[in-house]
Amino acid sequence: MIPANLNNTLRVGVLLINHNQWDLTKKCVDSVLKSQGIQPVIGLVDNNSNEPAPAWVENTEEISFYKNPENSGFISGNTLAFQLVDPLNVDFVIMLNNDTEVETDTLKLLVSCFYEHPDAGLVTPAITYAEDKNTIWHAGGTFIPARMSLRPMYSTTSELPEEPVEVDQISGCAMMMKTTLFRKIGNQDPGPFMYHEDVEMSLRSQRLGLKNYLVPRARIIHHVSISTGGVLSPFAVYFTHRNRYIYAERNLKKSDLFKFRLFYMAITVAKTFIYPLTGNRKLVYWMWLATMDAVLNKTDKRPEKLFIRKGR
């Protein structure tokens, strides 16, 4: 638990990125501002949305705002958001998707984990689907290097334990850490734009001898992939498939990397046939473009066609 003398005084910097999703961002901000037991301070970066910032952005005292003249992506956006809150004497920061909503005690429960577990590096809440709050979207899990993927530990909220539990990986959808740790591991290469950067941050935390924790009683709902057009949008397919390979190359041991390359190509070939069978023929092109760009290490490539529609 948070020491009694620090209750309601600890400042948590909330890093938020918006791109053409002001309604969702407002819901997220409103939920954050209802937090109990801590003082939220929001660093909000708008990645060059089509519409100007609504009046509530300027009129909300807890928000420090930056209008980014370009859509520089999730990774760069979080760095900019951190720069907004860092001078405000925040004790902790949480990277939070703008398409989420937090419960009133979530941030306090996450902060408490650091006092209960001094070895904590990254901590995360149980993240459920907004449409079904009993079904887990992400609650940490076991990292499988040869697949650059996570084996989930829980699928429903009824399976969750009461107390914090150690996990290998934490989602960037809701990732809290001490401000001092963000200064060490949060300054990532902005080239990959978004997706799988949380894998690298989780591994960086562990390399410092820290542990990553799930706090099961802390809850967040997630309006999954609304900001990117859905998990089967060309945008999501391109960046997830490309970055999976890029971050594997950067972070895996040689033995695991060899196994991963075989797995990656097998998945690519398999989906070449699966996508057309499921009515998603157009995704084959974006997947193979992602594969070629990954293998050729084009880490900062951003195909213009993916940014014509609204979406991050």
60 found inside a domain: yes
Residues 157 and 81 in one domain: yes
Looking at the fold, whether 161 and 71 belong to one and the same domain comes out as yes
Average pLDDT of the chain, as a whole number:
93
For residues 56 and 124, membership in a common domain is answered with yes
Same domain, 202 and 244: no
Query: Of the candidates 228, 261, 278, which is a domain's last residue?
Result: 228
Compute the CA torsion angle 240, 244, 246, 247 (nearest 10 deg).
Answer: 120
Q: What is the mean pLDDT of residues 178-204?
A: 91
177, 205, 228 - which closes a domain: 228
Amino acid at 168: D
Q: What is the CATH number of the domain that holds 24?
A: 3.90.550.10
Q: How many domains does the chain divide into?
A: 2
Task: Quote the percentage of the chain above a pLDDT of 70.
Answer: 96
- By CB atoms closer than 10 A (0-12, 13-18, 19+), residue 131 is exposed
Q: 312 lies in a domain?
A: no
Judgement on whether residues 75 and 189 belong to the same structural domain of the protein: yes
pTM of the model: 0.91
Clarify whether residues 148 and 276 are in a common domain.
Answer: no
Structure token digits, residue 150 = 């996570």
Q: Are residues 177 and 50 in the same domain?
A: yes
pLDDT in tens, 88-142: 999 999 999 999 999 999 999 999 999 999 999 999 999 999 999 999 999 999 9
Mean pLDDT confidence for 28-34: 98
Q: How much is the pLDDT for 310? A: 42
Q: Give the pLDDT confidence of 90-100 residue by residue, as tens digits.
A: 999 999 999 99
Domain for residue 73, yes or no?
yes
Residues 275-295 have pLDDT tens digits of 999 999 999 999 999 999 999
Domain final residue pick, 228, 249, 276: 228
Query: Domain containing 36: what range?
Result: 4-228
| Same domain flag for 44 and 163 | yes
Same domain, 94 and 24: yes
Same domain, 149 and 191: yes
- Residues 144-156 have pLDDT tens digits of 999 999 999 999 9
Return the pLDDT at 225. Answer: 58
Identify the pLDDT of residue 175. Answer: 97
Q: What is the pLDDT of residues 248-264, one digit of tens each?
A: 999 999 999 999 999 99
